[in-house]
Structure 1
Amino acid sequence: MGAWFNTEMMLIILGGAIATFLTRIGGYVLITQMKTIPPRLEAALNAVPAAVLTTLVAPAFFTGGPDVQVAMAAALIASLRLSMLPMLAVGWCAVMAMRYWFGA
């Protein structure tokens, strides 16, 4: 059982879980205590989805191969006119075509 159970590792996991819980619940509690949300805070909260999307997409774009880059560009262009599911299909078809024709 010693190889599977490490007290230090369990404390690190527990500490991380507590810190994550407190940061998530803290924002909710803070905002519910405000009577009105200040304009700067509202602008910051409106920017969160774009920031999260950027942190998910940018590493894949810059570390992926040309197949991933072409697929992301195709999906971006498709997203200007189509809803999410067709946009996803365009990106998937683009990456599959690149891998089929160019072996990327």
Structure 2
Amino acid sequence: MTQFDPHMVLLIFAAAVVTYLTRIGGFILITRMTRIPPRVEAALNAVPAAVLTTLVAPAFFIGGWDVKVSLLVALLVGLRFSSTPMLIAGWIVVMAWRYLAG
């Protein structure tokens, strides 16, 4: 059994408060604006692409060939179709590759 450490509890609580403040702070800031400046709007429009890149890039560079091929197939399908066929195509490719390659 581990011993109770009050400093660790305080650290976890402080991290939770800071995380909450940063999340609610952006919401409060945007709701108080009467007009969103063009630069802020451009930055907000770039967020989905940035999040997608941070999720996909490590998997592509660290993953095996099954992951690389499935991501490339999903990219090609995503250029033509919506997100559901893209997801299904990537899933089928990675599952088939893993089944056939062992």
SS at match of 1:80: helix
Amino acid at match of 1:34: M
Superposition map of 1:79-90 within 5 A: 79-90=78-89
TM-score using structure 1 length: 0.89
1:30-85 CA deviation, whole Å, 9 max, x = no partner? 11221111100110011011101111111111000010000011111111122222
CA distance in 2, matches of 1:89, 1:38: 38
* Equivalent residue, structure 2, for 1:23: 22
Task: Say whether residues 1:74 and 2:77 are aligned partners.
Answer: no
Q: Choose between structure 1 and 2 for higher RCO, CA contacts under 8 A separated by at least 6 residues.
A: 1
Runs of at least 4 residues of structure 1 off by over 3 A?
none
Amino acid in structure 1 at the alignment position of 2:97: M
Aligned residue in 1 for 2:96: 97
Partner in structure 2 of residue 38 of structure 1: 37
Instruction: Evaluate the alpha carbon distance shift between residue 66 and residue 22 of structure 1 in structure 2; reply closer, same or farther with a 3 A threshold.
Output: same
**Normalising by the residue count of structure 2, what TM-score does the alignment of the two structures yield?**
0.91
CA drift at 1:100: 2.1
Work out whether 1:51 is the aligned partner of 2:57.
no
Where do 5+ consecutive residues of structure 2 fail to align? none
User: How far did residue 4 of structure 1 move?
Assistant: 5.3
Letter in 2 for 1:56: L
Identity of aligned residues (%): 62
Length, aligned pairs only: 102
Q: CA RMSD in A?
A: 1.4
* Structure 1 residues not aligned, in runs of 5+: none
Structure 1 residue 64 and structure 2 residue 63: aligned? Answer: yes
